[in-house]
Copies of this chain bind each other. A is one copy, B any other.
Amino acid sequence: MFKINYEDKEARAGKLYTKHGIVETPFFMPIATKGTAKQVSPDELKLIGSQAIIANAFVLHLKPGLEVLNNFKGIHKFMKWDKTIFTDSGGFQILSKSFLHKADEKGVYFKNPFDGSKKFFTPEDIIDIEEQIGSDVAMALDFVPHYGNSKDYIAECTRITHLWAERCLKSHDAKRQLLFGICQGGIFKDLREKSAKFINNLDFDGIALGGLGIGEGRENMFNTAQIALHHIDNAKPRYLMGVGSPEDLIDCVGLGIDCFDSRFPTMNARHGGIFTSQGKINIEKVQYKNDENPLDENCKCPVCKKFSKAFIHHLYRTHEPIRDRYGNIHNLYFIQNLMKDIRKSIKNNEFNQFKKDFFKNYKLNKNKNTKFTYS
């Protein structure tokens, strides 16, 4: 169930009810593909304000495998996370040469990157896997094309995505698991409109916008999201997959998106990219060598409470593996705190003022076409 409690122009704040509790929307999910966030423990994820995470059903089915997950009565007890878990279906793995063998309307031949074996999966198989994994929200299997594929190819992927969506819905019978559909269509207005309408007309518990944040650039992403949102019921939770930079989160909440996931915060941290209230900095820069201030003076994350920029700079410069933990915790906290502030501003009908204030301080890179990282 999804309930919108506050509306501030297009932005909305509400509650998504799952079998592991209530998620206040709009929200951002850290990625835990294999059952753990990168370098961040479940306790730390909670501490920094994460309400939900997203794992990957296809990857988990390979390892540890369904036998283990069934033995633990599902993913929550296995990974020790008692809040909401989404599972992505494997549609995203279609983008990856190490996973995809081939796909057609019957289903998808996946390669097992651990042992090279090939196996055929129908949409029904994927739903069965997600049900066994026991996530709170399952994603339908979708056929994700690359950005830059031909319109004909993307039209065909979208057609297959629709067939699969119907089959996923039909086979899904885990009563307490929500099922979200995913629209595709690349950045082509007619394809995206058609797909949004089609998926919206099916009886999904939420609608995701897939195939974005994969190199199409900021402007294309916004335009496409807007086009799709016009054809999605206001009452349904709307999930923009693969988007997670501070600036994009704010702008997309402004379009009416409720749910996000992305590797952006952790991939940035990996390369020294640290979010601060003044904008993203590169902590590896020599200017921070002697800096006794925390990563962000306005941040209350466990890393900023403890360490100086100089120390974190030193860990990056000397390739100490713990740097990833500290960088990830800080960046994820920054995002979770941003989402909290966003929710508050919507409740107070001050979202636009909040946005203005945020961007007054937060300096964007000159290159407008920020690279997106899909989940």
Contact residue among B67, B79, B321 (Cβ-Cβ distance under 8 Å from A324): B321
A71 and B306 in contact, given A78-B311, A314-B63, A322-B41 (Cβ under 8 angstroms): no
CA distance A320 to B306 in the complex (A): 26
Interface size in chain A (residues, C-beta < 8 A): 37
A290 and B36 in contact, given A80-B306, A324-B321 (Cβ under 8 angstroms): no
Counted per complex, copies of this chain come to 2
Are the CB atoms of B34 and A64 closer together than 8 Å? no
Contact residue among B36, B67, B78, B310 (Cβ-Cβ distance under 8 Å from A322): B36
Are the CB atoms of B79 and A311 closer together than 8 Å? yes
The reply to whether the CB of A347 lies closer than 8 angstroms to some CB of chain B is no
Are the CB atoms of A68 and B317 closer together than 8 Å? no
Are the CB atoms of A314 and B80 closer together than 8 Å? no
Q: B residues within 8 A CB of A320?
A: 34, 36, 38
Nearest residue in B to A311 (C-beta to C-beta)? B78
Are the CB atoms of A311 and B80 closer together than 8 Å? yes
Nearest residue in B to A320 (C-beta to C-beta)? B36
Nearest residue in B to A306 (C-beta to C-beta)? B80
The reply to whether the CB of A341 lies closer than 8 angstroms to some CB of chain B is no
The reply to whether the CB of A289 lies closer than 8 angstroms to some CB of chain B is yes
The reply to whether the CB of A35 lies closer than 8 angstroms to some CB of chain B is yes
Q: How does the 8 Å CB contact mask read for A302-333 relative to B, with 1 for contact and 0 for none?
A: 00001110110111011011101100000000
**Further pairs besides A64-B317, A68-B310: 7, Cβ < 8 Å:** A34-B320, A36-B320, A37-B322, A39-B321, A63-B317, A78-B314, A325-B325
